[in-house]
Amino acid sequence: MEPFRENKVNQPLLESKELPRQVVAAEHVSSELEDILSDTSLSWWRRLQKATCLELKTLYILAAPAVVVYLLNNITSMSTQIFCGHLGNLELAAASLGNNGIQLLAYGVMLGMGSAVETLCGQAYGAHKYDMLGIYMQRSTILLMATGIPLMIIYIFCKPILLLLGESKSVASAASLFIYGLIPQIFAYAANFPIQKFLQSQSIVNPSAYISAATLVLHILLTWLVVFVLGWGLLGAALVLSLSWWIIVVAQFVYILVSDKCKATWTGFSSMAFSGLWEFLKLSTASAVMLCLETWYFQILILIAGLLPNPEIVLDSLSVCVTILGWVFMISVGFNAAASVRVSNELGAGHPKSAAFCVVVVTLSSFIIAVIFAIVSLVLRHQLSYVFTGGKTVSDAVSDLTPLMAISIVLNGVQPVLSGVAVGCGWQAFVAYVNVGCYYVVGIPLGAVLGFKFNLGAKGIWSGMLGGTVMQTIILLWVTIRTDWTKEVEKARSRLQNWEGKKEEVRLTY
């Protein structure tokens, strides 16, 4: 016990030496918004004006780069698919199956599990517990790397899996070759998402956008060289995609090491990262389930629609609509990230009014943008399909589905933001249960009944699944509106004290 007592005596001196560096390196979560909302000397309208201007500025500084990051990452995968498409129809089918099937599984699991870092890092940053951010990031990386092992096994045995699902032997063989090249990408995901969330929780988003943009340019050049000059085909294209993701990981980590902004939050590798893994795993698993259930929902729409009569036209029209919906969804994902950062930071900082206010601002902002896109899609409903194909039959089918797509766009302007709020508060387990009930107990069965029993086809399937989304959105809105934000601040404080206790326990052990 003597060495420990001696350390305790010396600890304040050590902390006092580190304090100036932390003050310089880390930007505190400002209390300006909370002060404005609490200033009773101002009229209600004046407080609303000042608070809205301040929050909108903060929000768009976060959301805009986040949208760019997700768009650029999406374009990186899409460019690989385009290059493979120039090799032939079989190669295009293989790359599409690899990118939109197997790869989407790993992406959803890893991104979902990485979202646990958003909750803990965001709240710790708001509470000025800066040294815990690096530990949370390391803890998440350990768990995600371990998760990558069973995912790797799925990748290795993808060919028999694809054959079991009914794919032809030629497509399964070509797709498996492409998927083998994506195995290193699994572990790049495992490192990338904790790093990305670690930076986002500190409102450091621009560097990730710059890195993604530079990597995209390099990726296109390398893919062209490997596919058309060296002739490495599908495997070469997939390996370049994996390499590009590792470039993003290394560049972001180098930024953490050299940036003054991260000096307080990254203090080096620590054995404390191996403590409390079970509790962290439970939150990470709930996050993964929450996100994967949402990600797979519209993929199931495509699968069910393939069972309808005349599936070629149905699938072509649905693919056009879902692709457009996916691009607009990237904007909502940016607002999702901004919502989780803002809410977790304000809760950690002990600002209940600010947390409640930023939820209103981010939800309304995303909703208004979604409504604008929905109106544009309705106005251009007869022209949309010609970006993808020249057939009038497909154009008429897309035009027929556009009203449902417009409703989906509007819902996607609200639902992902509310999911971001849930991540910021640590409600992942609750939202996972809501998603199971609304999507898979109500939405999919209702869509199947309308589509097949009532012969409404693709419109019936989509309408039923929209019903599940509407139900989920209403539940999340109701829960968010009724939230006691003062209690959420207390929960955040209790959660961080819990983890601080584990930290002290590890100090005693080592």
> How far is Cα 52 from Cα 46, in angstroms, rounded to an integer?
10
Q: How far is CA 13 from the centre of its chain?
A: 41
> How far is Cα 439 from Cα 470, in angstroms, rounded to an integer?
10
pLDDT tens digits, one per residue of 103-147: 777 888 888 888 888 888 888 888 888 888 999 999 999 999 999
Between the CA of residue 424 and those of 109, 194, 325, 372, what are the distances in Å? Answer: 18, 15, 25, 27
- What is the arithmetic mean of pLDDT over 339-355? 92
Closest CA to 185 of 226, 238, 142: 238
- What is the arithmetic mean of pLDDT over 199-212? 91
- The pLDDT of residue 510 is 37
Q: Where do we find the tokens 């417009």?
A: 406
CB 373 within 8 A of CB 330: no
> How far is Cα 284 from Cα 278, in angstroms, rounded to an integer?
10
List phi, psi (to 5°) of 454.
-100, 10
Lowest mean pLDDT among 288-292, 386-390, 412-416: 386-390
CB 102 within 8 A of CB 181: no
CB 492 within 8 A of CB 118: no
Q: Three-state SS across 360-414?
A: HHHHHHHHHHHHHHHHHHHHCCCCHHHHCCCCHHHHHHHHHHHHHHHHHHHHHCC
- The pLDDT of residue 423 is 87
- What is the arithmetic mean of pLDDT over 288-299? 78
Lowest mean pLDDT among 189-203, 301-315, 476-490: 301-315
Tell me the average pLDDT of the chain.
Answer: 84
> How far is Cα 84 from Cα 95, in angstroms, rounded to an integer?
7
- Please give the structure tokens belonging to residue 389: 């194909």
CB within 8 Å of 46: residues ≥ 6 apart: none
Closest CA to 476 of 404, 418, 416: 418
- The pLDDT of residue 218 is 96
- Identity (one letter) of the amino acid at 121? C
- Which three-class secondary structure state does DSSP give residue 253? helix
Q: Please determine, for residue 357, whether its predicted confidence score (pLDDT) is greater than 60.
A: yes
Q: Please determine, for residue 331, whether its predicted confidence score (pLDDT) is greater than 70.
A: yes
> How far is Cα 326 from Cα 214, in angstroms, rounded to an integer?
23
Closest CA to 318 of 255, 385, 378: 385
- The pLDDT of residue 10 is 36
CB 294 within 8 A of CB 451: no
- The pLDDT of residue 127 is 87
CB 464 within 8 A of CB 449: yes
- What is the arithmetic mean of pLDDT over 151-163? 88
- The pLDDT of residue 80 is 84
Confidence bin at 245 (pLDDT 50/70/90): very high
- Largest interatomic CA distance in the chain: 83
> How far is Cα 136 from Cα 121, in angstroms, rounded to an integer?
7
Lowest mean pLDDT among 160-169, 342-351, 382-391, 486-495: 382-391
- The pLDDT of residue 21 is 39
> How far is Cα 201 from Cα 222, in angstroms, rounded to an integer?
32
Lowest mean pLDDT among 28-32, 69-73, 386-390, 399-403: 386-390
Q: What percent of the chain has pLDDT over 90?
A: 40
Between the CA of residue 338 and those of 203, 333, 385, what are the distances in Å? Answer: 9, 9, 32
Q: Where do we find the tokens 């596919």?
A: 227
- Identity (one letter) of the amino acid at 101? G
> How far is Cα 481 from Cα 489, in angstroms, rounded to an integer?
16
Q: Please determine, for residue 20, whether its predicted confidence score (pLDDT) is greater than 50.
A: no
**Dihedral angle computed from the Cα positions of residues 158, 162, 164 and 168, in that order, rounded to the nearest 10 degrees:** -140
Residue 453 DSSP code: I
Most confident range, picked from 51-55, 71-75, 128-132, 268-272: 51-55
- The pLDDT of residue 16 is 34
- The pLDDT of residue 502 is 52
Count of alpha carbons within 13 Å of 274, Cβ hemisphere only? 6
Confidence bin at 504 (pLDDT 50/70/90): very low
- The pLDDT of residue 390 is 63
- The pLDDT of residue 88 is 78
CB atoms within 10 A of CB 456: 16
